[in-house]
Amino acid sequence: MNKIPTALLAFRIMAWITGVVLAVASVWALYGYLFLDYGLEGGKPLLYSILWIAHGWLYFAYLIAAVNLAFLLRFPIFKTLALLLAGTIPFASFYADYVMHRYVRSLPAKELPSKEASTQ
Amino acid sequence: MRQSSDLASRAKTPASILAVLALIGVCVLFFFLGKWQWDRTQDILDAERAATFAAVSVAEIQQPMNSKDFGRSVSAVGKFIDQDQVRIGSRFSPDSISGDWIVSAFELSSGQRVAVVRGWVPKGGSFSTPVSQVTVEGVLHPSESFYDFGGDQSGEVVVIDSQQLSELWNTELLDGFIVIQSQVPLDSGAPLFVPPTISTADVAFPLQNFFYAIQWWVFALFAVAIYIRWLVFGSKLRA
């Protein structure tokens, strides 16, 4: 059984949900700190805070999906860390999703590592 | 049994030992990041609690001032020091009219002194200072040192900073300053009271700080989980 397509799909879903929430929260933060008084204590609306908290928990799900995929693909440590950090940088997770898909498509079917491991 | 001894041998490889060291570093870092957010949460809640308490005498405030006392209601009995008063320009009245704030040294019956914002007067406007003993109540503020951009070439005071005022008046002052909200007895020529700049009483629960604290700690546990998975995954591969 090849687990990579499922892991890739799970990663794509989390990369997009986390990415959209992070992008909205970041643009909102930029606007709030530049033009409104978000720098002051109690200056932020509730929804704004909830969005950032949501990003924290979504990022946790993103981590699980990303680690799972990185393990299946036998990623070295720094590549894995880069993949994990992509969920914390605005818009980086969309790029990570694109790169991961391109990478998996480029693999010859017989070289998919998890296939090799499961047909021992 | 075979698998567990395999796991143990894998845990002893240099790569694994490096990973454990990194793991410990990450856990310690995340623990303190979480604790920092947790302490912020507690400080905000403490300040809110303190701000809703009845006024305490300013002499009872711990020195140097702790952030949990910011925004606290304080009272003081004593008198204004007439010669130690300063005007701070470009400050707003309760109706947002630009004018001067009158900042004075206030001497408690114990002899200790504290800086107080008496209130607002129109730019250059006059005001009177009672000579007899008064009771004032107000909100405790930290010094405005964050505004200090060193633009006072003329010797003009632009920020309310107890350290700076203490040098100006050549007298010891308690930390921070009080923005007076009531004064008994009140003379007719007194400056107009201004609302406190900081308010810690009606702030919302610090949701973000609270959840960030929990999230940092969850991430630390997750790092441990990844390490274990990495060990198990590697040993399965070898099998």
What is the rounded CA–CA span in Å between residue B176 and residue B140? 7
Question: How does residue A115 score in pLDDT terms, banded at 50, 70 and 90?
Answer: very low
Query: If you average pLDDT over residues A76-93, what whole number do you get?
Result: 89
Does residue A120 form part of some domain? no
Question: Given a cut of 60, is residue B235 above it in pLDDT?
Answer: yes
Q: What is the pLDDT of residues B163-213, one digit of tens each?
A: 888 888 888 888 889 999 988 888 888 888 988 887 766 666 788 889 999
Compare A41 and A102 and report the one with higher pLDDT.
A102
* CB B32, CB A29: distance < 8 Å: no
Compare A10 and A117 and report the one with higher pLDDT.
A10
Query: Would you list the DSSP string of chain B?
Result: -HHHHHHHHHHTSHHHHHHHHHHHHHHHHHHHHHHHHHHHHHHHHHHHHHHHSPPEEGGGS-SSPPGGGTT-EEEEEEEEEEEEEEEEEEEE-TT--EEEEEEEEEEETTS-EEEEEEEEEETT-------S-EEEEEEEE---GGG-----TTS---S--HHHHHHHHTS---SSEEEEEEEES--TTPPBP---S---SSPPP-HHHHHHHHHHHHHHHHHHHHHHHHHHHHHHHH-
Of B199, B222, B226, the CB nearest to A60: B222
Q: Which residues of B touch A63 (CB under 8 A)?
A: 219, 222
Does residue A103 form part of some domain? yes
Q: Which residues of A touch B229 (CB under 8 A)?
A: 67, 71
Q: What is the pLDDT of residues B126-167, one digit of tens each?
A: 888 888 899 999 988 888 876 555 555 556 777 888 888 888
User: Cβ–Cβ of A117/B236 closer than 8 Å?
Assistant: yes
Which of B48, B141, B197, B215 should be substituted to probe chain A, the one whose Cβ sees the most A Cβ atoms within 10 Å? B215
The domain containing residue A37 runs over which residues? 4-115
Q: Which residues of A touch B200 (CB under 8 A)?
A: 41
User: Cβ–Cβ of A71/B219 closer than 8 Å?
Assistant: no
Q: Which residues of B touch A45 (CB under 8 A)?
A: none
Does residue A33 form part of some domain? yes
- Number of domains chain A contains: 1
Does residue A52 form part of some domain? yes
Does residue A25 form part of some domain? yes
Compare A107 and A17 and report the one with higher pLDDT.
A17
Query: If you average pLDDT over residues B67-74, what whole number do you get?
Result: 81
Does residue A51 form part of some domain? yes
Q: Report yes or no for ipTM above 0.85.
A: no
**What pLDDT is stored for residue A12 in this prediction?**
94
Query: If you average pLDDT over residues A99-111, what whole number do you get?
Result: 81
